[in-house]
Each structure stands twice: as structure tokens, then as C-alpha cells.
Amino acid sequence: MRAVVQRSGPASVRVDGEVVGRVPFGLVVLLGVRTGDTAEDARYLADKVAHLRVFPDETGKMNRDVREAGGAVLSISQFTLYGDVRKGRRPNYMEAARPEEAEALYEQFNAHLREYGLRVETGRFGAMMEVSLVNDGPVTILLDSQRLF
């Protein structure tokens, strides 16, 4: 699994013009699922996201996680994170998991975040979505359950 995690001010996701998820501030997570990913990958990434210390403490240092900061998570499924453009210019998505496999692991990832006491808002799996956010900092972290960047 692969995630792009952004510390955010207000963020929302729309499907067909309707807001289906909204957070006042916290983390926006774009999550991609790769063929062969497992429930262990979902748990590992949820733990990493829930405990990322990217929010300021009273001295201004990034020393708090999203729960400690009182924020929420906007979680968006995004298979394009596995787009491979090493050959040519059109992305190849062969590494991305099939939708039924990806959706199950995406839901497990969100459930694990909720187990940590986090409010989790989501987009709609498989839909065309419009994601709006204010990237705070900016702070953007890349996570991968299989290899480091």
C-alpha cells in the first residue's frame, strides 16, 4: 500500500457536486492499494498515519499526531498512486489491485484509523471525485508498506 499524507486545513471531497466527506483540519490521505497487499499492510499504514507527529506542540515543533491535535482524517482511495511511467508517457496501472481487493483493504485501513479514536471521513470508492484542501505548511509525507522512498 502507498499513501500520500498531507497536513491540511479545511478539506472536502465531492462526488457529482455533493460533498460526501469534510474535515475542518487534520490529514488528507490519498491511499493506493497494490496487487498482493494484505490486511497487515492496511494495519501498518493506518498505524503510521495515526501516529505521524506532524502537528505543532506548544513550542511550535512538529511533535503531535492528528488525534492529539484534535484533527480528523479525510481518506481518499487513489489507484493512480501505482501509475508507472518509466516506459512511455501513459501511466501503466498493472501494479494497482483489482477494485474488489482494493476496496476491502481501503475499508480495513479506515477501520483501523477509527480504532485509534480518529474521526475518518471518506470519498466514494471508484467514483470520480473532486478533492479540495488547504495544504498546511506545506507538510506532505510519502508512505509505503513495502519499501522506503
Residues labelled catalytic: 78-80
The Cα–Cα gap between 35 and 77 comes to: 14
C-alpha cell at 31: 491511499
Alpha helices in 52-136 (DSSP H): 66-69, 99-115
Q: 70 φ, ψ to 5°?
A: 80, 15
The Cα–Cα gap between 82 and 4 comes to: 12
CA-closest candidate to residue 74, choices 115, 128, 126, 110 = 110
Task: For the chain, state the CA radius of gyration.
Answer: 15
Alpha helices in the chain (DSSP H): 39-51, 66-69, 99-115
The amino acid that residue 73 corresponds to is: V
